[in-house]
Structure 1
Amino acid sequence: MQKPNKLIHTLGILALLGVGGAAHSAVTLSADESARIEEVAGICMLASKGVYDIAIDHQNGVSKDKAKKNLDKALKRVEKGFSKKDMVSFIDETWQNGLNIIYKMPVYDDKADKERFVQQAVEGSLNACFNDLDG
C-alpha cells in the first residue's frame, strides 16, 4: 500500500478531527505549515470546482467550445480574486487539462453513471492537485 504524502495525510487528520481545539492538540503544525495547508486546500478546491463544472457540462451535453467559454469567464473572476499569478496559471492549466481529458470521455445515459463520472473526475482532480502542490 502506498504511503500518503504529508499534505494529504495532514489534511485527512484535520478533516477527521475537525478544526476546533482537538485538532490543534492532536496535530501540531507551525504557522507556516498551517498557512501552506490552507493555501493548497483552497487552490485545490478551486481547481477541482472548475473540473466539476466541466464534467457536469460534458455530461449535460454542453459543447466543448461552450464549456471553454464558461471556464474563461470563471478564470477572469479568479484573476480578480487571486494576487499570485503563478496560482492563477496553475488553476488555468488544471482547467484546460481537465477540459481536454473530460471531453474525450463518453457521455453517459444513466443518471447514476453521470454522477459517478463527475465524482471520479473531481476526486482525481483533487488528488492530482494535492500531489502537484505538495512539496
Structure 2
Amino acid sequence: MRPLGSPAGSPPPVGPYSPGILAGGWLYLSGQIALQEDGTIVPGGMREEARLIFSRLKEMLSQARATPSHVVKLTLYLTDMEGFQGVNEACAAFFSPPYPARVTVGVKELPRGASLEVDVVAYLGEDSH
C-alpha cells in the first residue's frame, strides 16, 4: 500500500486517516470537502464546493498517475438535495463517458459545515502497484 498526500491548498487531514491509498491497482480517495487553506469552507454554495472538490480530486488522481477516466465509483454526500443539479453539472464537466458508477446520499450534516463531500474509487490496472 502507498498513501497519497493532501492536495495543494488544502489543510492536512483532521483525523487519523490518509487522503488516499493506492493498493493493488486500486486507488481509494477519502471523502473530500471544500476546505480552504484556512480551514473554512469555500464560499458560494454547493456548486462552488463541487468545483473545488473536483479540482482537488483531479490533483490526487494525478499523484497516482491517474485521470478521471480511471474512476469507477463515486459517492456524493449532500446536505441539501436542492443542490443536486449543480453537482451533476460539476460531474459532467469532470467526467466523460463512460461515466463511473455513482451513489448519491442525502445526509443531515457534514464536517465543518460543508454541504458536499465526495469520495472516489479508481482502478489503475494491475501494473500500477
Question: Which is higher, the Rg of structure 1 or of structure 2?
Answer: 1
TM-score (norm 1): 0.31
Question: Which structure's residues are more often helix, by fraction?
Answer: 1
Question: Which structure's residues are more often strand, by fraction?
Answer: 2
TM-score (norm 2): 0.32
Greater length-normalized contact order (CA 8 Å, ≥ 6 residues apart):
1
